[in-house]
Amino acid sequence: MAQTLDMQQAQRAIDTIRLLSADMVEQAQSGHPGTPMEAAPIAYLLYNRHMRYNPRNPDWAGRDRFILSCGHASALLYSMLHLSGYDLSLDDLKNFRQLDSPTAGHPEFGHAPGIETTTGPLGQGISVGVGMAMGARFLQQRISEELFDYTIYGLCSDGDLMEGVASEAASLAGHLRLGNLVYLYLDNKITIEGDTDLAFTEEVATRYLSYGWQVQHVEGENVQDLDRAIEKAKHSPRPSLIIARSHIGFGAPNKQDTAGAHGAPLGGEELKLTKQFFGRAPEECFNLPTDVTAHMGEAISRGTELEAIWQKTFANELKENTDLAAWQKAAAGELPAGWDDLPTYAAGEKLATRQASGQTLNALAGKLPFLLGGSADLGPSNNTTLKGEDSFTPCSVGRNIHFGVREHGMAAVLNGLAHTPGLIPFGGTFMIFADYMRPPIRMAAMMGLRTIYILTHDSIGLGEDGPTHQPIEQLPNLRAVPNLTVIRPGDANETVEAWKAAIANSQGPTALILTRQGLPTLDRNEFGAAEGLQQGGYVLSKEQDDLQAIIIASGSEVSLALAAQEQLQQEGIGTRVVSLPCWELFEKQTQDYRDQVLPPECLNRVAVEAASTFGWERYVGLKGKTIGMQSYGASAPAGQLMEKFGFTIENVIETAKEILS
């Protein structure tokens, strides 16, 4: 533990944090003042007594991490970052929630130093923290026990604990005995609608004990007891939950312990009374006493010294630890030479793209030691198991992660793993269950994290499981997410290229959309090279004679398009087939390239994709047509379903002729 706690000094700092946060919300006339005011003692103790960090190097790999899962309390985090010496000015705090300010309404990763992850949707921060703790444990046991012995701290609220994603992740954390995870829960009994008894009366402590967590109870205003509880949690072999009975809006005489302190400024008069309660001048705003700033600013020298010790240890270990050297390059964003030298597939072989994906994934795993992941209990179906690798368990840290049937939690945990320097995480499930994953997928895209989603059983082609398992609208839904790269390869060799694109994409997440059913492997001597996938779309098969029609397809419908083209051209209709596995990559190409693939003068276009037709208008135009799903599927063998819903050679030919006529 740090030196003896000076209670007078601590209380001065805590009260300053409270009022600074309240001033930010009041000036913005928007925000949540009550939670920062109640949580100030916890934040003070973490940043001044327990956490290892360096404000002058916020990305120091050996630092402890702090996650404000209740992101609506962002004013608290900004206050702490400013007072602790991060590059966040008082003017930035005064511009809280304003356009182009780094102090957004909820913490946004990359907007200001010291923000470890984007939070806002409740429960996501808790779950990301589980992934961060798993990443730390992986590095600690696989690379260096001393260098990566850091702790993940989180602050959470009633709302966080009500969200199902937090339960999924907390259950996994308890199972894995992640002792480097410490959460402090603000048990203030208040939600926006009023008392938590309206909807939340469970025994939280009992639930977390059943997950396998250490649980402690403290009074939120008892700084010394909080200090001891945090110290105890740091040394627990299990994840820890500290339940702090706190008081929202502490010090506001008329709004403390009410919903009125939750989602709106205190108001001018109430804020003046609050400042009087804390013995401060009621008319002063953004007042930072010099003794408080000096005390809190000691974090700079303390952090610089801590990092210097770590860097010395790092330099010494680097001389003999080849794994550490490999991690250093991976953390810098480097991929090893030859990583993309992958097997290719012979023409004629029929293979599901999920199978080709599994084989490619295993080839990549031999070249990329920090590639790890698994499935939501669907490893054999998703082909996500890394052969010859151990599992990530309470006793070992293999590269095969068993997420259990927890799709939402899995996707959020992947974000935490992706926040861990050097790691490339992947997670798989049936594509239909991407609906359960959407919030953390969106967060990954917003933060630009390199997470990879392996989504198999991608259409009605999965067959007998029926419409509950057949994704129809999921493909356009995923394409609607900004900065998410969605790739639906058409054969085994396109699948290899899809994996190359996913690994190379360090600026955001990638979703690989894969079939259950076997697809013919195309003869690349006859058709366009599979490397064309890197441009998102390419001419797979050129027209004979003059171009009269274009058939555009992705995934399992590519071979159907080629079969239709053959018959159309036998009838003298010059037809081109374009494989368009990734809209996002295609849109990044030059207009000249896109016009070469889809000549604007040829408006006779048919798109073929076993999903909702939504969005295809951008490529087929007003004259063209899309063969897709207009309803849910049905339970039957895949071949019968394809025929029933119009994915036949005859229908593609008839549709093309209809446009031409």
Mean pLDDT, range 26-35, rounded to an integer: 98
Cα separation of 542 and 564, whole Å? 13
CB-based contact 335:368 (threshold 8 Å):
yes
Q: Which of the four pLDDT bands, split at 50, 70 and 90, describes residue 2?
A: low
Q: What is the pLDDT of residue 264?
A: 96
Predicted confidence (pLDDT) at residue 1 exceeds the cutoff of 60 = no
Tokens for 377? Answer: 């209990």
Predicted confidence (pLDDT) at residue 59 exceeds the cutoff of 60 = yes
Percentage above 70 pLDDT, the chain: 100
Mean pLDDT, range 585-600, rounded to an integer: 98
Tokens for 264? Answer: 């709106």
CB-based contact 522:351 (threshold 8 Å):
no
Name the nearest CA neighbour of 428 among 403, 453, 411.
453
Cα separation of 414 and 134, whole Å? 10
Mean pLDDT, range 48-73, rounded to an integer: 98
The H or E element containing residue 455 is strand 452-456
Alpha helices in 278-394 (DSSP H): 290-296, 298-318, 322-331, 353-365, 379-382
**CA 596 to centroid of chain Cα atoms:** 36
Phi, psi for residue 88 in degrees, rounded to 5: -140, 110
Angle of CA points 242, 248, 249, to nearest 5° = 140
Cα separation of 111 and 105, whole Å? 11
| Residues contacting 630, CB < 8 A, separation 6+ | 612, 613
3-state secondary structure of 424: strand
Tokens for 212? Answer: 């396998």
Tokens for 178? Answer: 């992640």
Q: Cα dist. 562→180, 282, 490, 551 in Å?
A: 54, 77, 11, 8
Cα separation of 250 and 36, whole Å? 9
Name the nearest CA neighbour of 479 among 591, 618, 371.
618
Predicted confidence (pLDDT) at residue 349 exceeds the cutoff of 90 = no
| Residues contacting 635, CB < 8 A, separation 6+ | 463, 464, 465, 466, 467
DSSP 272: H
Q: Tally Cβ neighbours within 10 Å of residue 183.
A: 28
Pair type for strands 518-520 and 350-352? antiparallel
pLDDT tens column, 217-253: 999 999 999 999 999 999 999 999 999 999 999 999 9
* DSSP secondary structure string for all residues of 164-193: HHHHHHHHHHHHHT-TTEEEEEEE--EETT
Q: What is the pLDDT of residue 3?
A: 79
Q: Which of the four pLDDT bands, split at 50, 70 and 90, describes residue 96?
A: very high
The H or E element containing residue 500 is helix 492-504
Catalytic option among 407, 557, 584, 609? 407
pLDDT tens column, 548-563: 999 999 999 999 999 9
The answer to whether 609 is a known catalytic residue is no
Q: Tally Cβ neighbours within 10 Å of residue 523.
A: 10
Name the nearest CA neighbour of 155 among 88, 62, 220, 228.
220
Q: What is the pTM of this model?
A: 0.98
Cα separation of 302 and 304, whole Å? 6
The H or E element containing residue 657 is helix 649-660
Round the average pLDDT of the chain to a whole number and report it. 97
Tokens for 260? Answer: 């009125």
Structural domains present in the chain: 7-305 (3.40.50.970), 350-520 (3.40.50.970), 534-660 (3.40.50.920)
Tokens for 535? Answer: 């441009």
- Residues in a beta bridge with 512: 454, 487
Percentage above 90 pLDDT, the chain: 99
Tokens for 532? Answer: 């064309």
| Residues contacting 568, CB < 8 A, separation 6+ | 549, 575, 653, 656
Mean pLDDT, range 175-182, rounded to an integer: 98
pLDDT tens column, 185-216: 999 999 999 999 999 999 999 999 999 999 99
